[in-house]
Amino acid sequence: MSGDNEHFTYCYGQLKHQQLMLECSARMEKYNAAFLRNMVNYSDKIVMDVGAGTGILSLFALQAGAKKVISVEASRMADYAKRLVQANGYENKCEVIQKKVENVCTEGHQVDVIVSEPIGFLLVHERMLESFVAARDKFLSPSKISRSSMVPNSATVHATLFTDPKLHGEQMNRASLWDSKNFYGVDLSCLKDDAEKENFSQVFIGNVDVDSLLSDQVSSHFIDFTSVSINEIQSFEIPLSVKVNKTGILHGLVCWFDVELIG
């Protein structure tokens, strides 16, 4: 397990981090609607919840009529998930396993549907999509793979060009310390260019106003979770081909994504 993984597992083991996700109403409403509108996909089915956290999606699947749910959670949050499952009266229909899904044995764990919320920044950060796809290859027989057996079932990453003088100025200012020629008697300024380069080489995560886009075209990359391989998630290219139709200084590349939940 890498240091990053250990850090994520430690954070996800805390209720306060799970609470942030449960309080994200846009996320919760979309997922809840996906279960309630597609009850036929869950009714009498065996469902695996990959990265179950508190078990909220497992409980949605049970509410939607699942026959059995296998909730797999790597962190100690699995204990809390067990308590929630029990308190909601589903202990006979739900098996909570505290393990990385990659380490769960296949015997007795073949399923009809896999659900997950494996979405990180720019979709792929945290690398949980890889675990979602690994679970498909391990626990879903090829004859059962369909649009409704992987939830979410696809995602599209988009990229285009943008201008944002304010954001650019803020990034420039972050390196202003290095302008100092007399920092407690020390001249720091020979490092200014490197500090700036370091800032601009990092990804900025935040909102970009639609008015700042320099083109009304985007380049997109579609990922079908029913068929994508782990290698294709670990490395993919989005050749950028857009026609700039607005005047402005090009400050960067903006990327975002859509996720399709409904089978």
Among 48, 57, 133, 161, binds ligand SAM (CB under 6 A): 57
Q: Which is nearer to ligand SAM, 52 or 64 (CB)?
A: 52
Cβ of 40: how many Cβ atoms within 10 Å? Answer: 12
Other C-beta atoms lying within 10 Å of the C-beta of residue 130: 18
The Cα angle at residue 106 between residues 101 and 108, in degrees rounded to 5: 115
Q: Is 35 in the site for ligand SAM (CB under 6 A)?
A: no
Q: Is the Cβ–Cβ distance between 134 and 125 less than 8 Å?
A: no
Site for ligand SAM in 217-236 (CB under 6 A): none
Whose Cβ is closer to ligand SAM: residue 14's or residue 217's? 14
Subset of 99-118 contacting ligand SAM (CB under 6 A): 100-102, 117
Instruction: Name the minimum Å distance from CB 128 to ligand SAM.
Output: 5
State which residue, 231 or 245, has the beta carbon closest to ligand SAM: 231
**141-148, Cβ contacts within 8 angstroms, sequence gap of 24 or more:** 141/110, 144/112, 145/226, 145/227, 146/226, 146/263, 147/226, 147/263, 148/38, 148/41, 148/113, 148/263
Sheet strands side by side (includes 252-260): 219-224, 154-162, 252-260
Least Å distance between CB 9 and ligand SAM?
A: 6
Of 53, 59, 80, 96, the residue at the interface with ligand SAM (CB under 6 A) is 53
Determine contact, residues 53/77, Cβ cutoff 8 Å: yes
Q: Please tell me whether residue 96 binds ligand SAM under the rule CB under 6 A.
A: no
- Please name which of 10, 144, 143, 139 lies closest in space to residue 71, comparing C-alpha atoms: 139
Q: Which of 128/254 has CB closer to ligand SAM?
A: 128
Instruction: Choose the stretch contacting ligand SAM; rule: CB under 6 A; options: 48-56, 181-189, 192-200, 205-213.
Output: 48-56
Binding mask 59-88 for ligand SAM (x = CB under 6 A): -------------xxxx-x-----------
Residue nearest to ligand SAM (CB): 51
According to the binding rule CB under 6 A, does residue 56 interact with ligand SAM?
yes
Hey, what's the torsion of the CAs at 13, 2, 101, 135, to 10 degrees? 130
Nearer to ligand SAM among residue 77 and residue 140 (C-beta): 77
- Among 47, 48, 52, 167, the residue binding ligand SAM under the rule CB under 6 A is 52
Angle between helices 15-22 and 3-12 (to 10 degrees): 70
Distance CA(140)–CA(48), nearest Å, equals: 9
How many chain residues touch ligand SAM (CB under 6 A)? 20
Site residues for ligand SAM, window 121-180 (CB under 6 A)? Answer: 128, 131
Binding site for ligand SAM (CB under 6 A): 9, 12, 21, 51-54, 56-57, 72-75, 77, 100-102, 117, 128, 131
